[in-house]
Amino acid sequence: MRILTCLCSKSTQASSNLFQRIVRHFPDEGNLSLAFTYGSGVFPQHGHIDMAANMIDFIFVVRDSEKFHEKNMQTNVTHYSALMRKLGSSRVAHFQKNYGARVFYNTLINCEGRLIKYGVISNSSLQSDLLNWDSLYIAGRLHKPVNVVHHYFEDNPELMLAMRQNLLSAIFTSFLLLPETFSEMQLYHQVAGLSYLGDFRMTFGEDKDKIRNIVEPNYQHFQDLYRPILDNVTSDMQDFVSWQPALQKLQVDSSPKARHIYLEKLPLRLQIRMAREFDKRAMQIRDLEEILRSIARFGNIEDPVRDAVIHTVKKSAWNQSILSLLSAGLIKGWRYSLQKIRKMSKGIVRSWRT
C-alpha cells in the first residue's frame, strides 16, 4: 500500500474520519472495490488557505455500475439531475460505460456538512485506463497522491498491480520528456502535469499554476508515492538510470538504446498513437517495433511523446466535460463552471502579485 497511496498524517486524521462517514452514505454491498479522495479539499495547495472551504473530490470504483446507480438512485436520488432520474440507472450506466472517459460524475452535493463531487467508474474501465492510458482521466489523477478511504485490494490484486504499472508508465514517460539530468522536484512536476497536457481547461477554467500548487506543498507525499518505485527502477536499470536520493537528483541515459527501452515500457495505446503520427512523416508502412526504434533515434524525441499524450488527454477532456455537463444539469453545471472560473481568476491575481 505504501507504493500506491499517500497515508494521512496525524493532522489529517479528522478528515479521514469525515471521508469514512461520507462513503457510508453510498451503497456498497460488496460492489465498491475502491474509494479515494483527491484535490484541494484533501491535500494542501498554494492559494487555498482554508481546505475545509473546498469541495471534496471522490472516485468510487465499482464492480457493477448499473447496480451501483440503481441502489444510489434509491438512497440519493437528488444527487442526479432531473434528466438522469428520468432516464434511470440503466441509461446512466450506459452513458458511463460508453462516453467520455468512462466516468459518471455527480457534483455540488451536500454531505456531512461538506460540499462533495463524486465520480463512478467500473473496475474494468479503470484497469484499462491504468494499463493502456485510454483517456488518462482517472489514471492521471492516480499519478498524484490520493487518499484511499475504502478498498478491497485483497479481492482484486489485478487492480493494485495496474495502479503500480500506471506509476511506472508515468516515470518512463517523464524520462523521455526531461533532460538527461534533473531533480526529484522536476520529475514530480512532470508526472503531475502529464494528465493536463492538451486539457482545454488549463487554458480556460483552471489555475495556471495548478501543477506547481499541487506538487510543491505535497513534496513529501510525492516522495512517499514514487520513491519506492524509483528504487526498483534504478535497481533494475543500473546501466541506464542513476538515482541519488540524498541529493534528490536523477540522471538517465539518453542514447537511442536507452530511449528504446523507455518507449517499450510505455502503455501500448500510447505507443500506437505515437507510431501512427510519427510514421505519417516517414510515409511508410512498418511494424510498431521498427517505428519505436526510429522514434528512439529521433533528435527531438520529446515532441512525438508529448504529442501522443496531448492527443489522449485532449479528446477525453472534451468528451468528459460534455458528459459531466449533461449529467449535472444546467443549473449545477453553470454553478460548477463558475467555481472553476473563480479559481482561475485567483491564480491570475496571485501570479500578478508575485
Which pLDDT score is estimated for 330? Answer: 52
Instruction: Name the residue with higher pLDDT: 120 or 47.
Output: 120
Which pLDDT score is estimated for 1? Answer: 46
Q: So where are the chain's domains?
A: 18-353
Grid cell, residue 214, equals 499541487
Answer for the pair 20, 82: CB distance below 8 angstroms, yes or no: no
- Work out the pLDDT band at 187, boundaries 50, 70, 90: very high
- Work out the pLDDT band at 286, boundaries 50, 70, 90: confident
Task: Report the distance separating Cα 137 and Cα 317, nearest Å.
Answer: 7
Task: Provide the greatest CA pair distance for the chain.
Answer: 60
Which pLDDT score is estimated for 27? Answer: 95
Which pLDDT score is estimated for 84? Answer: 92
Average pLDDT of the chain, as a whole number: 86
Radius of gyration for the alpha carbons in the chain, expressed in angstroms and rounded: 21
Taking each helix axis as running N to C, give the angle between helix 330-353 and helix 302-328, from 0 to 180 degrees, rounded to the nearest 10. 140
298 burial via Cβ count (<10 Å: 0-12, 13-18, 19+): middle
Answer for the pair 276, 307: CB distance below 8 angstroms, yes or no: no
Answer for the pair 136, 194: CB distance below 8 angstroms, yes or no: yes
Task: Report the distance separating Cα 48 and Cα 51, nearest Å.
Answer: 6
Lowest mean pLDDT among 168-177, 186-195, 271-280, 339-348: 339-348
Which pLDDT score is estimated for 14? Answer: 65
Residue showing cell 469541495:
55
DSSP state letter for 209: T
Mean pLDDT across 148-160: 86
Which pLDDT score is estimated for 128? Answer: 97
DSSP state letter for 201: G
Alpha helices in the chain (DSSP H): 13-23, 65-75, 82-87, 89-98, 123-132, 137-141, 157-177, 184-193, 210-215, 219-236, 256-264, 268-282, 288-297, 302-328, 330-353
Q: Is 243 left (phi over 0), alpha (psi -120 to 50) or beta?
A: beta
Which pLDDT score is estimated for 47? Answer: 64
Mean pLDDT across 316-340: 64
Task: Report the distance separating Cα 14 and Cα 21, nearest Å.
Answer: 11
Percent of the chain with pLDDT over 90: 67
pLDDT digits (tens, 9 = 90+) for 69-122: 999 999 999 999 989 999 999 999 999 999 889 999 999 999 999 999 999 999
pLDDT at 352 over 60: no
Percent of the chain with pLDDT over 70: 83
What is the per-residue burial (b if ≥16 Cβ within 10 Å, else e) of 226-244? Answer: beebbeebbeebeebbebe
- Work out the pLDDT band at 16, boundaries 50, 70, 90: confident
pLDDT at 337 over 60: no
